[in-house]
Structure 1
Amino acid sequence: MRAWQGDRVVITKADKPYLNLLPHVDTPQARKPGGLKGKIRMPADFDSTPEDIIEGFEGRL
């Protein structure tokens, strides 16, 4: 119950500290655009999908 209230809790094993239970602190991180720059490549024919593939996705088979 104390961990839910934000207190640090020490769990012991054989009378020795074994594990620290700490309250979670949410630290939102700002998004940094461009993290995958140069790692993703689009093929030259990306926009020319064959009609049978499109029909398969749209359920017209």
Structure 2
Amino acid sequence: MPETRQPKSSPRRVGVQEFATNLTSFLKQVEEGHRFVLMEHHRAVAEIGPPSADAEVRKPGALRGKIRTSHDFDFLPADVLKAVDDGE
């Protein structure tokens, strides 16, 4: 079972399999400020930790009304349509 007394300054090395098996527990620790280096075959493959302070939170609908599609968005020219139909 994962340790909960890890200093916040140095990341703890954890095997990918152990991390996956105890994902919920590790994510709770990440929320508390802990960082982890994920290891696979004695090689660091990823680092996980809390998001940086400047990480933006996605705002659903923020681009509403700002994106337009071309009037011919779903139109294929005859030569392209023929090539697709003929399997060329």
Normalised to the residue count of structure 1, the TM-score between the two structures is 0.36
Q: Which structure's CA Rg is the greater one?
A: 1
Normalised to the residue count of structure 2, the TM-score between the two structures is 0.27
* Structure with the higher fraction of residues in helix conformation: 2
Structure with more contact order per residue of length (Cα contacts < 8 Å, sep ≥ 6) = 2
